[in-house]
Structure 1
């Protein structure tokens, strides 16, 4: 089949990338440019790109919905725990208040330190619970 010859100009960086790709794929630069141009000019090329974008957006939407659901569950669980704890914990007598506040600050500092270590390691309670659930379901 007869082909027309075209002289085109490319940015030197793009030319280098084209030469590199042609060498890796062991095809001519003309074949790569011809395929790219055919794809660009194809009437359904835009539809294919749009469909790919829509699929990615759908995946992102589902992921965000899962995150929102998980955040709602976590927030509700924490709020319920705090409400339960506050309603069942009796108030301290005035004589013990200072010692209890000092102990509370010490425990809180330890809690923040432990939280920082766990997050730095990438370890979360959610992952641990999930892994334990997976182990127990395979043992049954």
Structure 2
């Protein structure tokens, strides 16, 4: 490797430190200075890129934690719904034969109302929870919430 002579002016203390390191390592003062400059330029060049990588790594870590929380919450909601359906099916007695036709018609009507509410809830900017519980409107829903959503059904007089 070819070298070019460069004249540098340094403070006397720094010159003594360079000479001491060169003697301790058995090298020339020029090689110590050249290595120090190479190291400085290498860290300077890698500095912004390294900092950007660290920032990206931290941001990805935070995003990963948020996604993990969302997945955990989603799994909990799924388990809650499945548990509710299982308990509902286990604790409701079978329908007597003489009421089967009217129960089927009632179930069909309820299912269609459920689908209508579900489609309404999937529209952007709409929340079923706000409609049922009045979270944003500040309404006082002391009852069961059926009258507000149109789900009073056949048992409206039986609910408190």
Q: Which has the bigger relative contact order, CA under 8 A and spacing at least 6?
A: 2
1:124 is displaced (CA, Å) by 3.5
Deviations 1:40-71 (A, max 9, x none): x8321221121121022112111111111111
Give the alignment of 1:109-120 within 5 angstroms: 109-120=112-123
Deviations 1:99-129 (A, max 9, x none): 2111111111111111211221433356789
Tell me the equivalent position of 1:84: 87
Give the alignment of 1:127-138 within 5 angstroms: none
TM-score, normalising length: structure 2: 0.50
**Aligned Cα RMSD in Å?**
2.7
Tell me the equivalent position of 1:3: none
Tell me the equivalent position of 1:123: 126
Partner Cα distance (1:51, 1:127) in 2: 41
Larger Rg: 2
Cα 1:96–1:86, aligned 2, differ >3 Å: closer, same or farther? same
Aligned residues: 93
Tell me the equivalent position of 1:101: 104
Tell me the equivalent position of 1:60: 63
Partner Cα distance (2:76, 2:131) in 1: 17
Tell me the equivalent position of 1:49: 52
Alignment of 1:69 onto 2:72: yes
For structure 2, list consecutive stretches of 5 or more residues without a partner in the other structure. 1-43, 139-160
